[in-house]
Amino acid sequence: MERYLAPLAYLPTGWQQNVRIEIDDNGFISQITPNDAGEQCQKLTGAILPGMPNLHSHAFQRAMAGLGEQRLNPHDSFWSWREQMYQVALQISPQQLYVIAKSLYMEMLEGGFTSVAEFHYLHHDANGKPYAGNDEMADAISRAAADAGIGLTLLPTLYSYSDFAMAPASTTQRRFIQTTEQYLAQLERLKKLISTRANQRLGGCFHSLRACTPEQINEVVATLPSDWPLHLHLSEQVKEVNRCLEVHQCTPLDWLSRSVEINSRWCMIHATHITDSELELLAKSKAVAGLCPLTEASLGDGLYEVDSFLSQGGRIGIGSDSHISVDVAEELRMLEYGQRLKHQQRNFLASEQYPSTAERLLVESYQGGAQALAQPIGQLAKGQRADFIELDMNDPYLASVSTEHLLDSWVFAHYKNAIQSVMVAGKWQVKEHHHQQHQPMQAALLETLKELRS
Ligand code: NGQ
Ligand code: ZN
């Protein structure tokens, strides 16, 4: 058992002083007590808050960050970016994926994310042939998360078609493609693998309504345990919504909800272009809307009606998706700034309960993220996994403000080095702003990036 005393900690009741945190041998919080004298405790120096769940990741895309920013034609779009992304997807080996994912997950920890939902559809080898029964790519992801020390909800993803109306997959999609039966068999194999890894679990996942039908989704959901989360890319691009309207005479969520129950197990990624009635349905269902503010900005997706969604009781969380950048504060800042630019207002997503914009966004994304990952995370409370970040209170910008401005100062004003250390399941992974393996990992990362970029 480990005991710590934090001068300041953000609990479900808000900031508290002199908080004693007791952590059991499994890495869970067994006791948490404010205003404690701290006897027999290791003394922390910073302000402690929960680590953020990252609800949407395609780890391999980190390898192309910064390389999709040159104009290829006057109409560069999500779809032309996707062609570039497919080239990386076609090339990357299990060993390269391990290195890219491990160093990405280390960056996530440094940026304040302590667990990640990996939306994984890169199943087969470069020729589109399954790895002889042993899921080398999924195994690379799982090992990368274990070795980086981040919590993982692995989401093996069903991908069967290239578009609505069961359009056949293109050859550039050959590493993704499975039938429902192949997918279910893969889940069975992965259950064995993941059960051996601490702080990891599985969820069900469907790439999009372009890539699988509601009938397939129904069949899979019927066979999964009822506590598994379910993820799907919903309505990211106007073009896909229009195609759905053309083929099915209704919008994606309407189409899905005719045959599948939408409930709190669901996390709808990029619900960007849903209608008002779909938004109402989603809010009522208690599903999470998975927002990826920096990627959605980077890809030119559009802005979600997040204020109206929240005011109807909707749940949100954040993901770094394509990993154009890997930082909790940057994601939340982008989320708020998108709304400010759109509505020409300030502190747009703050609320009566939370006048601090950063606090509102953090609290919502902790809750939604924990729900979407289906893990005991997102709060500093008894029974939760001991996943937390420590803000550097030696930093003048943080040390000089009262606690009511602390979260806003981190998220909006302080860009570098605010996070001093990070713990996952009771183990320190980041100290003095860097992951413990930062140095030794740099050489492997450089070599892998050179291979992939040559
Ligand atoms: C993906 N990424 O699967 O990686 C997608 C792009 C698609 C984002 N949606 C591909 N950001 O949706 O077909
Ligand atoms: Zn995605």
List 36, 321, 327, 387, catalytic entry = 321
What is the domain range of residue 329? 51-373
- If asked whether residues 394 and 431 sit together in one domain, one would say yes
- If asked whether residues 282 and 215 sit together in one domain, one would say yes
Residue 448 lies in a domain: no
Residue that finishes a domain, picked among 329, 346, 373: 373
- Conformation bin of residue 302: beta by default, left when phi > 0, alpha when psi is -120 to 50: left
Ligand 1 centroid–CA 328 distance in Å is 21
Residue 446 lies in a domain: no
**pLDDT confidence of residue 411:** 98
Q: pLDDT tens digit string along 239-288?
A: 999 999 999 999 999 999 999 999 999 999 999 999 999 999 999 999 99
- If asked whether residues 410 and 269 sit together in one domain, one would say no
- If asked whether residues 434 and 366 sit together in one domain, one would say no
Residue 242, Cβ neighbours under 10 Å: how many? 12
Residue that finishes a domain, picked among 331, 349, 373: 373
- If asked whether residues 315 and 417 sit together in one domain, one would say no
**pLDDT confidence of residue 415:** 73
**pLDDT confidence of residue 132:** 84
Q: pLDDT tens digit string along 371-383?
A: 999 999 999 999 9
Residue that finishes a domain, picked among 373, 393, 417: 373
Dig out the tokens for 393 from the structure: 């209170």
Closest to 441 in 3D by CA, of 45, 100, 172? 100
Kind of pairing, strands 29-33 and 434-435? Answer: unpaired
Q: Considering its fold, how many domains does the chain have in total?
A: 2
- Percent of the chain that is helix, strand, coil (3-state, to 5): 40, 20, 40
CATH number of the domain to which 429 belongs: 2.30.40.10
Residue 268 lies in a domain: yes
Q: pLDDT tens digit string along 408-444?
A: 999 999 778 899 999 999 999 999 999 999 999 999 9
- If asked whether residues 395 and 351 sit together in one domain, one would say no
Residue 266 lies in a domain: yes
Q: What share of the chain has pLDDT > 90, as a percent?
A: 98
Handedness of CA 136, 61, 157, 92 (dihedral sign): negative
Index of the ligand 1 atom closest to the CA of residue 321 = 11
Residue 103 lies in a domain: yes
Among all bound ligands, the one having the nearest atom to the CA of 157 is 1
**pLDDT confidence of residue 414:** 79
Index of the ligand 1 atom closest to the CA of residue 61 = 4
- If asked whether residues 310 and 240 sit together in one domain, one would say yes
Active site residue 387: no
- If asked whether residues 273 and 404 sit together in one domain, one would say no
Model confidence, pTM: 0.98
- If asked whether residues 205 and 126 sit together in one domain, one would say yes
Across 39-68, average pLDDT: 98
Residue 392 lies in a domain: yes
Across 297-323, average pLDDT: 98
Active site residue 307: no
